[in-house]
Structure 1
């Protein structure tokens, strides 16, 4: 499979390229970026000679699929044009910044009979795959609560400059959409259930004024079968949990079932279960193991998703992460924004009135969100 890459920034350089470098069946055939310096450097580092600063050159080339790694507010125009040109689409998460744009991307791929995959590769982490096996085997019973936390250990001085994409509301809705999208998708996947309600609080700290988006957020989601999911994302805090700390962030997952629980920290490869053999007990039965793959090979999750996407194209089967699932994650996140702004629990899926209300914020005057 030949990929045309649109957007050669850090996500491609630090994730997609290392995950597929030297792959026997997946190749990068063409690179595109508006920054000529970045494009030249990445071309030299990857050995991909065909380059352009115009993404339309990519979709009208001989590639089989496009890998879209641009700012998410550009996704809809690029993905619609790619579908019209007959290209399969791997779109980095979030699939879009609005429900309307996400629906347009899904419709374009469906009408063209093409595969659309959204980059929620966390489903393919070794720890999450192991958790799924335990859950699907019924070992911890019915899941009633999942907690996921991701907090960057970065100085607030990074906010206005190096981390501008995360904080800039106009482009990405900030950390709540840019990072929490991974975790709400994972909770749905692990729960094997659909969300019905969200309550959320979002805070803004540091410089920049009302046009900068969230730096810290906590969302609570209720699911159809009664379970709850809690997602916490943060932009800058001192480390708290030494067993969850990677080079730049703390990340941990807790899964609570009626027969036991699971705890894991991907960055350290730590995986712990508490499944008492005789049923409910206050006396824990901790069994600790490690998923050594993540610290040693952080690219395996990306590689697995790309391979599953290729297989879906070749065998004409369902996409490993569908556009609908990508849009569900966006809808959960936007529902969280609306909950914070209006001070109420928000029903999911969003009503058309709620969709209109949250999408109006993207064109609101500066200071309207203050």
Structure 2
């Protein structure tokens, strides 16, 4: 077959920094179309990447010019655009969080099944070398029984990153549905499920807006999580870490402690109970800061799954389970109760 013809829907920062350059760098892909409701942005992006531009996603999907699309819109459009694309027989790579409710996520999964097309959610943290290595160390029994963990994802906020600054959709509840918890927290619920190899079953959370007085979504969240085997730990998601971003995870096991992305030089440090310390230099995590890993691997894995006709590494079901932990956290904050995930 020839090259995979790809379109990118939504020309904001994530498209500009990740999807467009990574598609362009992929030799199996021809970047043919971009779409944004902001016509000026759509035009400029199209000119920069040598693609056709659309301002209506329906027109792009019905144009017959693309085999696959990336959905990089505001969160409230993830489900409708993904479903429309799948129904049009087009493969979908959707940014996270995949949807704003379990019902939406289920509808996306159903649309993928019905169409026989691929649906992948862009949870790039799974492909970070230190995270992949940690999963293997845990699965092999190297660190013994896992007792606890803590994970954090925080930076100064999307106004420094989003093309629209403080006026952007990130801060508007009807478009974003959730703030730091959905933007950053869902990365970590997905990561924990992946690294630990088990589901999170219970959540207690505090979700606050304390730093962004112009926003009507959360900017600081702290959750306590419990997995099916009884591992307990914390997850913090924040847009109020004003200096260096924090993207670290620490796993406490009976034979060793794993420190992931916690040290500027060594992306994985294993501290064994006998005092031995092993430091790995595995390449940095991808970040919005300079010097971060330059590819998220998400695009190549998505393209590969289409070309080889394999299930994508992060299918809709996985995206939905990671979203359900976030939904449980929001419910816990509202009800002041511990919430069981997925109920």
Q: TM-score, normalised by structure 2?
A: 0.89
Residue 337 of structure 1 is aligned with which of 319, 330, 342? Answer: 330
SS at match of 1:63: coil
**Residue matched to 2:83:** 80
| CA apart distance, 1:297 | 5.6
SS at match of 1:89: strand
CA contact (8 A) 1:267 1:294 kept: no
**Residue matched to 2:96:** 93
Residue 294 of structure 2 is aligned with which of 292, 299, 304? Answer: 299
Q: Does 1:253 find its partner at 2:249?
A: yes
Q: Does 1:56 find its partner at 2:58?
A: yes
SS at match of 2:267: strand
**Residue matched to 2:194:** 189
Q: Does 1:221 find its partner at 2:216?
A: no
Instruction: State the distance in 2 between where 1:148 and 1:107 align.
Output: 32
SS at match of 2:246: strand
Residue 241 of structure 2 is aligned with which of 234, 237, 241? Answer: 237
Structure 2 residue runs without a partner (length 5+)? none
**Superposed CA offset, 1:3-41 (max 9, x none):** 111111111001112223332112311111111121122
Q: Which moved more, 1:176-185 or 1:12-21?
A: 12-21
**Residue matched to 1:325:** 318
Q: Which has the higher helix share?
A: 1
Instruction: State the distance in 1 between where 2:126 and 2:241 align.
Output: 26
| CA apart distance, 1:68 | 0.5
Instruction: State the distance in 1 between where 2:295 and 2:30 align.
Output: 16
Q: Structure 2 matches for 1:1-370, cutoff 5 A?
A: 1-48=4-51, 50-60=52-62, 61-153=64-156, 161-162=165-166, 164-172=168-176, 173-206=178-211, 208=213, 212-239=216-243, 245=244, 249-265=245-261, 268-276=264-272, 280-281=273-274, 284-294=275-285, 296=291, 298-301=293-296, 304-350=297-343
**Superposed CA offset, 1:72-114 (max 9, x none):** 1112221221111111111111110111111111111111111
| CA apart distance, 1:225 | 0.9
SS at match of 2:331: helix
| CA apart distance, 1:329 | 1.4
Q: TM-score, normalised by structure 1?
A: 0.83
Q: In 2 relative to 1, CA 347–294 (structure 1 residues): closer, same or farther, beyond 3 Å? A: closer
Instruction: State the distance in 2 between where 1:41 and 1:182 align.
Output: 30
| CA apart distance, 1:288 | 2.3
Instruction: State the distance in 2 between where 1:223 and 1:66 align.
Output: 34
Q: In 2 relative to 1, CA 236–275 (structure 1 residues): closer, same or farther, beyond 3 Å? A: closer
SS at match of 1:131: helix
Q: In 2 relative to 1, CA 20–229 (structure 1 residues): closer, same or farther, beyond 3 Å? A: farther
| CA apart distance, 1:274 | 3.4
**Superposed CA offset, 1:306-329 (max 9, x none):** 222222223332221010111111
Instruction: State the distance in 2 between where 1:131 and 1:18 align.
Output: 28
SS at match of 1:181: helix
**Superposed CA offset, 1:189-234 (max 9, x none):** 001001111000111114657x701110011111111112421011
How many residue pairs were aligned? 333
Q: In 2 relative to 1, CA 38–158 (structure 1 residues): closer, same or farther, beyond 3 Å? A: closer
Instruction: State the distance in 1 between where 2:91 and 2:161 align.
Output: 36
